[in-house]
Structure 1
Amino acid sequence: MDVDGVAQRLGFGAADRAWLRGLPVGEEVQLPDEAESLMEYCGVAEADRREMLAARPDPARDPDWWAVVSAMAGQLDQEMGQPVPSTGFKAWPTVPASASPVGLFAAAWALLAHLPRLLELHALRGVPETVSIATVSALGGVMATHRQITGRAGVGLMYLWGPPLRFRGADYEIGRHDFTRVQLGLGDGVSGHVLMMHIPPIGPLDSHASERSVATAAESFARWYPEEPLTAFVCTSWLLDPQLAEYLRPDSNIIRFQQRFNLLPLVPPDDPTEGDRELMRLGLHLPVPDGPLNDEALAQVPQTTTLQRAYVTHLRSGRHWHNRTGILRSGLQWGSNPLLSELQA
């Protein structure tokens, strides 16, 4: 399978072609016969189910997109059940804006094809079905967000981080947070295991719900993955940018969440606008322009909420927002979980 030639014909950029070129090429993907019921299990709304079924790839009719789906499914095959290595995970790329509906749903079909195998893994590890359903609901969630931000059905115009990790068994949604199994590397192989905390857009960041989520995760992963003893909880997010404290109330959910972490020193990104774009996409749920975030772009940001006003004021002052990384502070009482207390000792 000439994935590079396929990607070039479809209009992928050089960086995304390189990503696709590096994917393992195995057997062709097997799409499920019971696709609609599996979509419903994944929380996909009825309108998106109809659009996705109409965009089901066919190897004879859509050979190029079929090759892309097979390559993405090949990555899931190779990495199924594995934690994220210390070198990290690269998001699945966006498709060209000119992509057909088949292209816009290509990644979704690769994910759905692996749902039966993922559920087998969950059952083997003792993951309850309630967690399985919450975890795979990321597929329905990303479709809803994609439609909201881009105005088009599918998943292809957004970089995909969470769904590929969830459908390979590396990430689980437990209450308010989802948690990614990550290997800790300190220069000489695997040195430990951490859980990366994420804050999916499923409602307010309530501190009590957050505490319960972390405590339950500590107990659950100790049972599901006893061979991966937990070293720490780590979070990388725009939510941890301490500059937010200049604009938000001290008792706001975001500031209270920040106070639970020790921040690592800021590593300046190659692109100084990286955090600006991340906050715009994930925090404000707005489409990010390809060009600069100039006055014209900022004028499109609503000024209804405190966060929206803070975002614009901060950038117009010549400053930038940052994604920051923090480690869950020791000595905090995240419920009465004895395992978590031991981890923090």
Structure 2
Amino acid sequence: MLPDAADLPDLLLDLAVPHEDINEVVALRRAVTADPAVRRLVEEGAEDVTGAVREVDDPSGLADRAAQAPAALGEYFLAYVFLAAVPHARAVHRARGIPDDVSRHTLADLGRGMALHRRRHGRGGLGVRQGHWLTRHFCGRLYQLGRLQYERTGLGERTAQAIRSAGTEVTGGEPSLDLHIPDFLGPLTPAACDRSLDHAREFFARHFPEEPHAVATCHSWLLDPQLRRHLAADSNIVRFQERFRPGWEDPEPADTTPVGFVFGDPDLPVPDLPRRTSVERAVGDHLRAGGHWYVGHGWFPWDR
């Protein structure tokens, strides 16, 4: 359901949509509502998004529907898809008793996604890849709780094997929580992570009591152990790594992943990467020396 014209600006602010995008999004509303075919395309996209709880990794249809969107909407089509999905997402949250501030902070990842799109491409909108990511928030799979985000998911078999090898009995597919580290949210300090984890343990026990979680996992370039060679032992990233026990090793290089997260564009030429911060120097210098970065996989017992 699309928001009323009078309510749209306030909704965009609640969703942390960048201020420089708001006027254009508001102006495009008529292009959506005046054409029944476009409105139907948006509403079908919203149904794809909110039904993605079944197939979150392939919420199918987003790319196809974006390709069918009229040129007048540009890359704002998917933003309208998620705006139309807001009532459903909020209803899912209300049914679980999710506090309003958690609901608002979780769905505000739409604005973060639009900010990331502008940082990379220099123009407003929302890309298909970011749209796929946001399905987790709008179908009730993922929640932002302080500094970290938590995705309700099933334990992967490779991770389950690593955990069993460490002496903890788990089964592939059982409920687990996957941690994500959002951008534009300040330093990843140990204190901020502690507060988030304390909040999360209470939150999931209260709102999802039927899903007991034995472990939490994380799959991120931030868990690549090579970072310890480049960063101080008391750095936030190294301290974050120390929370996790090692999972399985990924043999495939993922060099563009840290480049994208740290510098905003995974396709930037390595020789030109800036060296302004310790993390920028770590990522760029390692690649310039001929090294590779990998996605690390880690876990820890959820009940401390």
Task: Decide: shared fold, TM above 0.5.
Answer: yes
- Structure 1 distance, partners of 2:260, 2:98, is 31
| 8 Å Cα contact 1:303-1:309 kept in structure 2 | yes
Give the drift of 1:55.
2.9
Q: Tell me, yes or no, if the aligned pair for 2:17 and 2:114 is still in contact at 8 Å.
A: yes
- Classify 1:307/1:190 alpha carbon distance in 2 versus 1 (closer, same or farther; 3 Å): closer
Partner residue in 1 for 2:287: 315
Q: Which of the numbers 193, 196, 218 marks the counterpart of 2:178?
A: 196
- State whether structure 2 residue 248 is matched by structure 1 residue 300: no
> Take 1:211 and 1:101, find their aligned partners in 2: how far apart are those partners?
46
The residue number in structure 2 matching 1:5 is none
Confirm whether residue 117 of structure 1 aligns to residue 96 of structure 2.
no
Give the CA RMSD over aligned residues: 2.8
Unmatched runs of 5 consecutive residues or more in structure 2: 161-170
SS in 1 for 2:292: coil
CA contact (8 A) 1:101 1:154 kept: no
The answer as to whether partners of 2:271 and 2:288 remain within 8 angstroms in 1 is no
Question: Matches of 1:166 and 1:78 in 2, distance apart?
Answer: 12
* TM-score, reference length from structure 2: 0.83
Matches within 5 A, 1:138-287: 138-156=109-127, 159-184=130-155, 191-201=173-183, 202-269=185-252, 272=253, 275-285=254-264, 287=265
Distance 1:134 1:238 in 2: 24
Higher share of residues assigned helix = 2
Which residue does the alignment assign to 2:24? 51
Flag the 1:161–1:255 CA change in 2: closer, same or farther, 3 A: farther
- Alpha carbons 2:49, 2:85 under 8 Å: kept: yes
What amino acid is the match of 2:176? V
Matched, 1:103 2:74: yes
CA contact (8 A) 1:194 1:234 kept: yes
Offset of residue 316 of structure 1: 2.2
Residue 68 of structure 1 deviates from its aligned partner by: 5.2
Q: State the AA in 2 paired with 1:163.
A: L
Residue type of the alignment partner of 2:47 = G
Amino acid at match of 1:58: V
Shift of 1:300: 2.8
Cα deviation, 1:310-334, whole Å, max 9, x if unaligned, reads 2222112222111111102x4xxxx
Q: Structure 1 residues 214 and 77 mapped into 2: Cα distance closer, same or farther (>3 Å)?
A: same
**Structure 1: distance between partners of 2:279 and 2:193:** 20
Alignment check: 8 A CA contact 1:106 1:156 kept: no
SS of match in other structure, 2:131: coil
The answer (yes or no) to whether the contact 2:219–2:298 under 8 Å persists in 1 is: yes
Letter in 2 for 1:181: R
Asked whether the equivalents of residues 178 and 200 of structure 1 are also in contact (C-alpha less than 8 Å), the reply is yes
Take 1:76 and 1:248, find their aligned partners in 2: how far apart are those partners? 39
Amino-acid identity (%):
34
- Whole-angstrom CA distance in 1 between matches of 2:205 and 2:21: 36
Q: Deviations over 1:177-200 (max 9, x none)?
A: 01011023659x974211111111
Could you tell me which residue of structure 2 aligns to residue 10 of structure 1?
A: none
Counting matched residue pairs gives: 284
* TM-score scaled by length of structure 1: 0.74
